[in-house]
Chain A
Amino acid sequence: MTASHTITASPISATAGIGLRLAHLSDVARQADDAPRSASWFEIHSETFLNAGGARLAMLQDVRRRYALSCHGVGLSLGSAQGLDPAHLKRLKHLFDRVQPSLISEHLAWSVVDGAYLNDLLPLPYTDETLAIVSANVSRAQDFFGQRLLVENPSSYLSFTASSMPEWDFLARLVKNTGCGLLLDVNNVFVSAANNDFSAAQYLSQVPADAVAEIHLAGHSDEGQGDARVLIDTHSTYVCDPVWDLYRATVGRIGARPTLIEWDMDIPALSELQNEAARAQTIMDGLKASERADVA
């Protein structure tokens, strides 16, 4: 395990990356040093790689020798009223020390209460109380990791009656309180807007542009008819055209950003993901020079 001593994190440029899942891990890990690159960079789910040792971690370290990594967490539970789990902070820090991620991120969501983990990104009300809780949790994580955390907007299927501000306001205030960055998931905005009846375009126009350090794109499923209709954030298919349109408009407004293609279920060949990434890259490349704003 000498890799952590020989690699250092370098910034990810405003290019398209791919979410690296176990289905493709060994293929990418086995690539020769002079093989064509499969992506500009990769993002992993941090919690998939927290084990003491074994093949999975070894493959990740092989991947890391060629590619910059983003570590995307799904279990820190930033929305927990009981605070963050110190043991989990340590596990994540250990992984970060090993792979030196260029970006680290988590969700505006919660998944743990009373020590029980629910394995989903559950929603929270947007109130002064929860803003204080999430701000304290984000600050604690950033202090512990010694690195800026990007916080991702969730997909949601319902809203809380107690909410006193829209999600974009909550995120803007969180950025102000903690200095965190934002991971703007355009598909999540689209899904939440449809399910909760707000305007995705308005949301995207309100997000603080300077804070956005990464963008996620994914596919969702559209289920049920009429009153029973609900969009579900399945990450199981191609990015839909309306989401591509929102993405184009967003990078047109805020500039190009590291953009990730996420696909977590019914995972296709890596070449399909590369096609999706190429599409995002083409959109970024098409921006006028004045609109480009690479973030370091």
Chain B
Amino acid sequence: MWLEAQRAFQSTVVGTNDTIAPHVRAAYGPLANRIAVYRNTVQQSLIDVLATAFPAVQRIVGARFFAALARDFVRTRLPDVPQLSVYGVHFADFIASHEHIRDLPYLADVARLEWARGEAYFAADAPVFDPAVLATLEPEQLASLKLKLHPATRLIASRYPIHRIWAVNQPDVTEVPAIDMSIAENVLVSRPAYDVIIRFVPSADATFVQAFSQGRSLGEAAAEAMGSHPEFDLQTALQNHFIHGTFASMAAA
């Protein structure tokens, strides 16, 4: 009995119907006003959660369009966990398939970047890889070393210049330069301590990082990166990864 009423309540607050009306009453005034309080809270609070998680997406499309887009998303996909920091994991895919944003083909990747930043912020704590370890290894040990990505590390590979698009849509940017949309960019997100770092990486480096997520060794990853991008500079790439905490300590297994 109560379960059926709960389902009616859910349908009412997520949609626009008043299915719950026969079960409830207002002490005075129109019942619809009272039902609307719950509907507004449910929908608006979830729209606000998405706006907080995807500020650059909101800035690109504008607050009004974003609210409409977010409302569509809320109505099709409610949170499946009562934990708002994980609400929005499917928002990028929703954007990618949305008929009204076909003219912004890069928008889904900007959402992926913003989601990755949030995931990195909340990821498990882990010490970063200490490069001093490398000096203790023989060359063949070095080549077979399987570096482990830090729990906060995320790679976003895009067909669009998403690092530039994301960067010019930060709150403090007032003058937005023209961007060549034909450039493909990769972004690496990492968190060496508690602050999230978002940086552009060349595609050779993206190939290199990707290889570790597929379980490759250092030698294999370097060979893959150099195979597709002869200009790949292993030493410089590794230095940058150590500074930015891309890899986790081997000891913290």
Contacts and interface: CB of A to CB of B under 8 A. Distances in A.
Contacts of B121: 54-56
Nearest to B39: A120
Given A77-B82, A157-B37, A232-B37, A55 B194 contact: yes
A259 interface: no
A176 interface: no
B53 to A, nearest CB: 13
Contact of B24 (A119, A159, A197, A226): A159
Interface residues of A, number: 56
A228 B9 CA distance: 21
B2 A158 contact: no
Interface stretch (A63-71, A122-130, A246-254, A272-280): A122-130
A81 B122 contact: no
A124 B38 contact: no
Contacts of A144: none
Interface in A218-271: 224, 226-230, 232
Given A53-B151, A58-B194, A157-B38, A115 B125 contact: no
Interface string A106-138: 000011111111111010110101100100000
Interface in B187-206: 191, 194-195
Interface in A15-74: 47-48, 50-56, 58, 74
B40 to A, nearest CB: 9
B61 interface: no
A292 interface: no
A158 B82 contact: no
Given A55-B194, A133-B2, A227-B30, 11 more contacts: A53-B125, A76-B82, A113-B6, A114-B10, A119-B46, A119-B82, A159-B27, A160-B5, A160-B24, A161-B23, A224-B29
Interface of B: 1-3, 5-7, 9-10, 13-14, 22-31, 33-35, 37-38, 41-42, 45-46, 49, 78-85, 121-126, 151-152, 191, 194-195
23 contacts: A51-B122, A52-B122, A53-B122, A53-B123, A53-B151, A55-B121, A76-B82, A81-B3, A85-B82, A111-B82, A116-B79, A118-B78, A119-B42, A119-B49, A120-B38, A122-B13, A124-B2, A125-B5, A127-B2, A157-B26, A160-B25, A195-B27, A230-B34
